[in-house]
Chain A
Amino acid sequence: MIRFIAKRLGSGLVVLFVVSALTFFLLYVSSGSIARNILGDQATAEQVAMKEQELGLDQPLPVRYFSWVADALGGNLGASWFTSEPVANSLATRIPVTMTMVFAAMILIAVCAALIGVIAAVKRGWVDRVVQVGAIIGDSIPGFVIGVILVTILAIQLGLFPATSTISPEAGPEAWVYSMSLPVIALLVNGVTGGAQQIRSAVIKQLERDYVRTLRSRGIGEREILFRHVLRSAAPAGLTVLSLQLIGMLGGVVIIEQIFALPGMGPLAVTATGQSDLPVVMGVVMYTVVVVIVVNLLVDILNGWLNPKVRVS
């Protein structure tokens, strides 16, 4: 298991390095006119030249990349070209907001999707059909539309929740709960319906297998078969779906955070890419890659723990 984790970590680091290099070169190749962007449309040519020197844009690309890597290894991701705020600081204040939301949504998705999926697989009949129809509806409405609907009804008309985030240092934890409720619901609807579908088919597939018939013929109770054997075998499929959803959610969360004005990674990513604030864009890309690598690693470890066959392969 240790070797397995070490191997995965090693390949993760290689991916991180390759992605960072690719992103850096792609971004910086087109960064010629960034100085004028920063100064706006009333700046003179002399000002632009001054700014370019200030940002070190007159250095050759490879030199800039290696100095970026050297700094990054020391935990210094540079500073925003627009605000001079250290990128590491921006990330440190924003990652908690986004991750709180994503993990709250994931836990709820896992629980709800498993419950709904198992019930649909075991009961079949009308229950199953309701779940199927619900899944199609839930899948076809984008998260941000659900977000807008939730705000209109629950925040503006009924005043139960704040329309935009009230998270701030002076507000207590209840502000977090209130501010996060609607965005998390908006995030999880797609995930629950999609996840329930996958778990349902995985459980049905397992229930039709020979070993289940054998267990039943030995007089073992339905409940024990379901929870001890079937779910364990169906888990890898469910976990894989969950991990894919979590990674997909990193995109969805950007729009949701914009609508709810949550100070998370989304607005930072949107603003930074819109302005070509390259040090910040690099920081956002690094964070995304790290999340993807960690999630995949966790899924593999969990799968290995649930199903020894995976470890061998």
Chain B
Amino acid sequence: MKLGPKTAAAALALSASLALTGCGGAANSGPAAAAPTALTLGTIQDVRSWDPAQAHVGHVLQPYQAVYDTLILREPDGKLSPMLATAWKYNAGNTKLTLDLRSDVTFSDGAKFDAEAAKANMDHFKTANGPQMAQLASVKDVTVVDADTIDVNLTAPDPALEYSLSQAAGLMGSPKALGTEGIKTEPVGSGPYVMDKAASVKDSQTVFTARKDYWNKDLQKYQKLTFKVLTDLTARTNALVSGQVDATLLDPKNGKQAEGAKMKLAANEVDWQGLLLLDREGAKNPALANVKVRQAINYAFDRKTILDQVMLGQGTPTSQPFGKASGAWMEELENYYAYDPAKAKQLLKEAGFEKGVILEIPSVPGFETQISVITQQLADVGITLKVGAALTNTYTADIAAQKFTTIFFSLFQGQPTVAMDQIVSTKALYNPFKNKTPELEAKIAAVRNGGADAGKLAQEVNKYVVVQAWFAPLFRVNQMYYHNSKVNVTPQIQQAVPSIYNYSPAK
């Protein structure tokens, strides 16, 4: 009774004084945190289902790595190393991949990991309709050769397969649990940690403890691992700065606050941002069919200035949609379309669009600033950008239905074939008008059959779409992954957040 009015009065006084003084300032480290044998990570969302076939990429893959081993381990720099598979080899035509498996691994429910278990997982993955089901689309079937060997038979060569087996498609769950209701809420794997279900709350936190007798102690650096779900960026920043979590993903603006509190940055370029000029044959907007118009759009942007203003300089200006880690990236394409408004106007004139071009794009939540800046820069060369209604959560279906001729987006830069099937090939969601030319189809086919040279061959595809101006990339953006001084973190190539193997207690 006594406490109520006092508290209220204090709060009132506090808010009044703060309203007058405009509070701010750097924070000190908060309450003392746990011993270094525990690691707490702030994550953006909870895992939807613990069925390994429902795993996704990036920060949706990370929690699965705590409980599931993959057949192949992907090092921070992208190199593929043995994990549950000790060796693997293609046949001459790249249509059969033979994997040798470990024979000393058991799942947390006691089931043994062997060739049958690996086959069961891959069969399950192919039919479970998870978000990454396409990773095994080229797999015809899996045959058991002996207790610790499998053959993965392909319908056509797939240079991304080994990579896929280090990702969602390579996660191995207990064959006894696959397909049951139980595995949706409680994972059963052979990984370094097991879930402590009693201490976990859906959408709030998931707690893991180190598994006794795990086969690879080098990957098990903590006794306790907690994923704290913090969907709100402000909440993530506060939790990191006050010591509730050891590491989390922020953005350039909130990163400033974290740096003020002595947090360290493990930056990593994973996505590119820019325009996708989808209607390259002019089905709905004839102007876009003219390559000179598409090139003019590219010359209109002062990429460095936009990056500095909008992203506080956290990234690299670029003219190419393929990322550095893909092998398709080329130095000479980086600055292919340097800022040149005069050249943009000249190209529009040559294309017969001296009177101007109108482009319609949807607004995109979170990218309003970028869109308003490029609207201005396009207007300077005579291109009118009409910004329509915002993308809703049905945007993927809308894109597939050819609703948009141009969109501004931020896209993941994956392996060459992954990237091709995302934005270039006729299978790609972000090629809804199914644009293709015989020349490009030949280049794509060369990559698919390229085996180990896929990356190098993809440079040809990259060069083609840059010269033909299929896109107007602005820059690759940094993922701002921050951590405190209690933990060492190595960024993981092509992932917004590191794999769980990349954290270790700071000495």
Contact = CB atoms under 8 A, between A and B. Distances in A.
Interface residues of A, number: 70
Interface stretch (B3-11, B281-289, B355-363, B490-498): B3-11
B242 to A, nearest CB: 4
B11 A156 contact: no
Interface stretch (A162-170, A204-212, A217-225): A162-170
A90 B202 contact: yes
Given A115-B5, A258-B231, A156 B242 contact: yes
A78 to B, nearest CB: 15
Interface string A74-90: 00000000111100001
Contacts of A111: 1, 4-5
Interface string B238-266: 11011010000000000000000000000
B242 A155 contact: yes
Chain B residues touching A, range: 35 or more
B397 A85 contact: no
Given A137-B12, A141-B15, A258-B231, A168 B400 contact: no
Interface in A144-170: 146, 148-153, 155-157, 159, 162-170
A263 B204 contact: yes
A152 B204 contact: no
Interface stretch (B26-34, B323-331, B457-465): B26-34
A32 to B, nearest CB: 7
Nearest to A151: B238
B16 interface: yes
A258 to B, nearest CB: 4
Interface in A112-158: 112, 115-116, 134, 137-138, 141, 146, 148-153, 155-157
A85 B185 contact: yes
A71 interface: no
B129 interface: yes
Given A51-B129, A111-B1, A258-B235, A137 B19 contact: yes
Listed residue (A41, A157, A274) with the most chain B CB atoms within 10 angstroms of its CB: A41
A188 B48 CA distance: 34
B239 A163 contact: yes
Interface stretch (B130-138, B149-157, B299-307): B130-138
Contacts of B59: none
Nearest to A270: B231
Contacts of B231: 258, 261, 267, 270-271
B95 interface: no
A40 B185 contact: no
Contact of B201 (A41, A93, A115, A189): A93
A104 B280 CA distance: 59
B427 interface: yes
B49 A83 contact: yes
Interface in B1-51: 1, 4-5, 7-8, 11-12, 14-16, 18-19, 23-25, 27-28, 30-31, 45-46, 48-49
Contacts of A47: 129, 133-134
A189 B8 contact: yes
A9 B303 CA distance: 63
Interface in A254-286: 258-261, 263, 267-268, 270-271, 274-276
B105 to A, nearest CB: 28
Nearest to B232: A258
B15 A137 contact: yes
B238 A44 contact: no
B396 interface: yes
A84 B49 contact: yes
Interface string B187-213: 000000000001111111101000000
B238 A164 contact: yes
A11 interface: no
Contacts of A166: 244
A164 B239 contact: yes
B495 to A, nearest CB: 15
Given A137-B16, A159-B31, A162-B242, A36 B396 contact: yes
B11 A185 contact: yes
Nearest to A258: B232
15 contacts: A37-B396, A39-B130, A43-B131, A84-B49, A108-B4, A111-B4, A137-B12, A137-B19, A141-B19, A151-B238, A155-B238, A155-B242, A156-B27, A259-B234, A271-B45
Interface of B: 1, 4-5, 7-8, 11-12, 14-16, 18-19, 23-25, 27-28, 30-31, 45-46, 48-49, 56, 129-134, 137, 184-185, 198-205, 207, 228-232, 234-235, 238-239, 241-242, 244, 393-394, 396-398, 400, 421-422, 427, 429-430
Interface of A: 30, 32-34, 36-45, 47, 50-51, 54, 82-85, 90, 93, 108, 111-112, 115-116, 134, 137-138, 141, 146, 148-153, 155-157, 159, 162-170, 185, 188-189, 192-193, 258-261, 263, 267-268, 270-271, 274-276
Given A34-B394, A162-B244, 5 more contacts: A39-B130, A115-B4, A146-B15, A155-B30, A169-B200
